[in-house]
Amino acid sequence: MNQETNKILIAPSLLAANFAKLGEEFATVEAAGADWLHLDVMDGHFVPNITFGPLIVKALRPLSKMPLDVHLMIAPADPYITAFAEAGADHISVHPESGPHLHRTLQAIRALGKKAGVVLNPATPVEAIAHVLDLTDLIMVMTVNPGFGGQAFISSQLAKIATLRRMIDASGRDIILQVDGGITEKTAGPVLAAGATCLIAGTAIFGAESYAQAIAKIRAATPAKRPSLTETVG
């Protein structure tokens, strides 16, 4: 959650957009009320799909001031971090499995003045981030296996989201807890109740007739009362 506005952040994933009209799609989803644009970078090696690299980030950057949330599904990631930073990424998130030195990778992202994120695959334990919280601005829980949009939400990850909520609150750090994969107006409720503060959605937004309505429906899934910071600790 954005601590200043107490607002749940919605980050549409461009993966589900019309790739022949990326600029227009970006403008439309911004006008529809999106907070960030989520960009899925895939290499056909770390995940079984290929998307795009820094050139697309660079092309989209001048079109808006909206934060660009770059999700790297590439291995190794380290050699490309500078290129994504220079292309205009605001957030750069990596999977711990993409390289042997997560601590160094996060240091490198921060040294470039960008927010650093760690992404946990469904089978990756929360312990993967326990000792790098001081270098982490964003934690992203995958609720599908990375590589494709339009997959079914993996509900076993709700317990992980709740555990991470407690870890973040106990740390006292201003870390944004994102959830990526299978987010719809139905799954958004339980995810927000578990403590997520940023929802990433591809198909549910770009597959909808009205992006604004789709974003509004996901936002409306916000539970009436989220547990407060103190209530969730311990």
Binding residues for ligand DX5, rule: CB under 6 A, are 13, 15-16, 38, 40, 71, 144, 146-147, 149-151, 180-183, 200-204
Closest CA to 199 of 181, 218, 179, 226: 179
Nearer to ligand DX5 by Cβ, of 71 and 91: the residue is: 71
Catalytic, 137? Answer no
Nearer to ligand DX5 by Cβ, of 40 and 78: the residue is: 40
Q: Which does 181 bind (CB under 5 to 8 A by kind): Zn ion, ligand DX5, none?
A: ligand DX5
**Contact status: 180 vs Zn ion (CB under 5 A):** yes
Nearer to ligand DX5 by Cβ, of 149 and 195: the residue is: 149
Contact 89, 72 (CB under 8 A): no
How far apart are alpha carbons 118 and 79 in whole angstroms?
Answer: 17
Its sign, for the CA torsion 159, 134, 38, 55, is negative
**Of positions 40, 43, 78, 169, contacts Zn ion by CB under 5 A:** 40
C-alpha radius of gyration, the chain, whole number: 16
Quick one: which segment of 19-27, 49-57, 69-77, 130-138 binds Zn ion (CB under 5 A)? 69-77
Contact 206, 22 (CB under 8 A): no
Q: Which does 203 bind (CB under 5 to 8 A by kind): Zn ion, ligand DX5, none?
A: ligand DX5
Q: Which does 78 bind (CB under 5 to 8 A by kind): ligand DX5, Zn ion, none?
A: none
How far apart are alpha carbons 222 and 198 in whole angstroms?
Answer: 11
Catalytic, 180? Answer yes
Among the options 35, 40, 69, 169, which is catalytic?
Answer: 40
Task: Determine phi and psi for 12, rounding to 5 degrees.
Answer: -60, 140
Residue corresponding to tokens 């490309």:
80
Q: Which residues of 36-64 are buried (b: 16+ CB within 10 A; e: fewer)?
A: bbbbbbbbeebbeeebbbbebbeebeeeb
Quick one: which segment of 35-43, 51-59, 208-216, 221-229 binds Zn ion (CB under 5 A)? 35-43
What's the min distance (Å) between Cβ of 200 and Zn ion?
A: 6
Residues designated catalytic:
40, 180
The binding site for Zn ion (CB under 5 A) comprises: 40, 71, 180
